[in-house]
């Protein structure tokens, strides 16, 4: 099974059912993806689906979060946004706190210690789904930083609700073109607005509110809203800042397509120690799937295969090799790159199988 763009999916067999952010099924696995189905998915904001693939047979979809967890967290974020939109304040956070506990359990239960988040998401639900992913990624890095118990829950609540201030500028976040100066000023207020709403709630810790306040600040002072430097940025906010950027970069946006995880990680590592906390970026790089299962790769040896599973070192997954360097089919052989005696590595990510393999 692997992820393909909708324009490549016509006539393919759907490998994983499609659900919306609330967990409601939209299309069941096993159906043939007809033009009608694909138009319907596109109209709901989907740009890709998981399909069955004979060359990637038996490779499972990675998602550290269960459907039930996603639905619970999605509903909790939406509830807080609706409160903020209706009354300009947050009245209930019990649902958000419960969702953080559930996300924390899922992340902690990840057997390999390497987090894989499903890339299947609707662009029309970006703000809420993004919040859920930022929370999961922040908790992952928080655990790697040695936080536990109350501290993780404070981090998680702040990360889950860090964008609540966007309730006043949701139209700007979905604009396909460049923002005007006036729109940009509105956008730059969302950390302040979110902080003010969160800090006023008696059940939200001030550290959690500061995650919303500071998640767009940068270590070199180039961020907003206050352009503060690293020494004044709360550690929780430094974690959420990296999670926020990583998930945004790996999501389809109106103004650009999603980047693959390895490219987003490379971008962050180039800026580690400058805009972003070096240790936080390192922890993300070591614990998130750089090459998700099903990714088609060419190895340094010229062989071609699909990522089968994550190893202990995310940039070195297990690859199911299906073709030699001359693109001749071979019996599928799993190669753990972390323990490979030939020292092979991922040389290139391919969008699809080479035509010769498709024709065989």
Residue among 268, 285, 286 nearest 219 (CA): 268
For residues 233 and 86, state if they share a domain.
yes
Residue 61 lies in a domain: no
Q: Which of 12, 30, 56 lies at the terminal end of a domain, its last residue?
A: 56
**Do 197 and 268 belong to one domain?**
yes
Considering the domain architecture, whether residues 283 and 311 belong to the same structural domain is answered as no
Q: Tell me, yes or no, whether 277 lies in a domain.
A: yes
Query: Residue 82: which pLDDT band, with cuts at 50, 70 and 90?
Result: very high
Alpha-carbon distances, residue 231 vs 138, 217, 261 (angstroms):
20, 11, 29
Residue 62 falls inside a structural domain: no
What band does 172 get if pLDDT is binned at 50, 70 and 90? low
How many angstroms separate the CA atoms of 75 and 72, rounded?
Answer: 5
- The first and second tokens of residue 129, run together, are 């789904």
Say if residue 160 is in the same domain as residue 309.
no
CB atoms within 10 A of CB 56: 23
Task: Write out the two tokens for 355.
Answer: 């035509």
Total domains in the chain come to: 3
Pull the structure tokens for residue 49: 């689906």
Instruction: For helices 126-144 and 235-249, give the axis angle rounded to 10 degrees.
Output: 130
* 50 and 109, same domain (yes or no): no
The reply to whether 142 and 250 lie within a common domain is yes
**Band of residue 249 on the pLDDT scale cut at 50, 70, 90:** very high
Among the candidates 267, 287, 307, a domain finishes at 287
Question: 3-state SS string over the chain?
Answer: CEEEEHHHCCCCEECCCEECCCCCEEECCCCECCHHHHHHHHHCCCCEEEECCHHHCCCCCCCCCCHHHHHHHHHHHHHHHHHHHHHCCCCCCHHHHHHHHHHHHHHHCCCCCCECCCCCCCHHHHHHHHHHHHHHHHHHHHHHCCCCHHHHHHHHHHHHCCCHHHHHCHHHHCCCCCCCHHHHHHHHCHHHHHHHHHHCCCCCCHHHHHHHHHCCCCCECCCCCCCCEHHHCCHHHHHHHHHHHHHHHCCCECCECCCCHHHHHHHHHHHECCCECHHHHHHHHHHECCCCCCCEEEECCCCEEEEEECCCCCCCCEEEEEECCCCCEEEEEEEEHHHCCCCCCEEEEECCCCHHHHHC
List, in order, residues 6 or more apart from 111 with CB less than 8 Å away: none
- pLDDT above 90 covers a percentage of the chain that reads 75
Place 255 in a pLDDT band, splitting at 50, 70 and 90.
Answer: confident
In a domain, 106, yes or no: yes
Are 164 and 227 in a shared domain?
Answer: yes
Domain harbouring 242, CATH code: 1.10.3210.10
Please report whether residue 304 resides in a domain.
yes
Specify whether 115 is located in the same domain as 43.
Answer: no
Task: Work out the mean pLDDT of the chain and round it to a whole number.
Answer: 92
pLDDT of residue 356: 83
pTM above 0.85, yes or no: yes
- Phi-psi map region of 173: left, alpha, beta (phi>0 left; psi -120 to 50 alpha): alpha
CB 138 within 8 A of CB 245: no
Domain boundary among 287, 322, 341: 287
Q: Encoding tokens for residue 238?
A: 């430094």
Residue 27 within any structural domain of the chain: yes
Statement to judge: residues 247 and 270 lie in one domain:
yes
One domain for residues 323 and 279: no
Token pair in block for residue 260: 């693959």
The mean per-residue pLDDT over the stretch 203-226 comes to 97
Of the pLDDT bands very low, low, confident and very high (cuts 50, 70, 90), residue 229 is very high
Domain enclosing residue 307, as ranges = 296-359
Same domain? For 109 and 189 the reply is yes
CA–CA gap between residue 309 and residue 56 (Å, rounded): 12
Residue 119 domain-assigned (yes or no): yes
Q: Is the peptide bond before 225 cis (omega within 30 degrees of 0)?
A: yes
Quick one: average pLDDT of 94-110? Answer: 95
Do residues 115 and 30 share a domain?
Answer: no
What is the distance between the alpha carbons of residues 47 and 27, in angstroms, rounded to a whole number?
14
Mind listing the pLDDT tens digit for each residue in 286-325? 999 999 999 999 999 999 999 999 877 777 899 999 999 9
């Amino acid at each position: 099974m692997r992820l393909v763009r909708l324009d490549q999916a016509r006539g393919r067999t759907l490998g994983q059912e499609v659900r919306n952010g609330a967990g409601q099924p939209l299309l069941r696995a096993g159906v043939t993806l007809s033009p009608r189905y694909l138009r319907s998915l596109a109209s709901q904001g989907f740009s890709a689906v998981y399909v069955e693939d004979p060359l990637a047979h038996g490779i499972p979809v990675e998602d550290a979060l269960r459907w039930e967890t996603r639905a619970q967290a999605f509903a909790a974020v939406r509830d807080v946004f609706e409160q903020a939109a209706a009354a300009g304040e947050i009245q209930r956070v019990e649902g958000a706190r419960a969702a953080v506990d559930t996300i924390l359990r899922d992340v902690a239960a990840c057997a390999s210690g390497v987090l894989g988040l499903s890339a299947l998401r609707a662009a029309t639900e970006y703000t809420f789904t993004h919040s859920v992913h930022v929370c999961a990624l922040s908790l992952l890095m928080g655990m790697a930083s040695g936080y536990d118990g109350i501290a993780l829950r404070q981090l998680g609540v702040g990360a889950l609700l860090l964008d609540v201030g966007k309730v006043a500028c949701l139209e700007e976040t979905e604009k396909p073109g460049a923002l005007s100066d006036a729109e940009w000023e509105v956008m730059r207020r969302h950390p302040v607005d979110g902080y003010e709403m969160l800090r006023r709630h008696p059940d939200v810790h001030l550290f959690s509110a500061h995650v919303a306040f500071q998640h767009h600040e940068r270590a070199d002072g180039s961020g907003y809203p206050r352009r503060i430097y690293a020494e004044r940025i709360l550690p929780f906010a430094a974690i959420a800042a990296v999670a926020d950027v990583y998930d945004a970069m790996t999501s389809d946006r109106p103004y650009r397509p999603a980047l693959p995880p390895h490219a987003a990680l490379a971008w962050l590592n180039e800026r580690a120690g400058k805009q972003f906390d070096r240790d936080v970026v390192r922890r993300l790089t070591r614990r998130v799937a750089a090459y998700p299962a099903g990714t088609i790769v060419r190895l340094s040896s010229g062989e071609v295969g699909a990522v089968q599973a994550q190893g202990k070192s995310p940039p070195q997954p297990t690859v199911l090799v299906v073709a030699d360097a001359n693109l001749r089919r071979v019996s599928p052989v799993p190669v753990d790159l972390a323990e490979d005696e030939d020292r092979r590595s991922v040389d290139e990510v391919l969008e699809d199988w080479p035509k010769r393999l498709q024709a065989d």
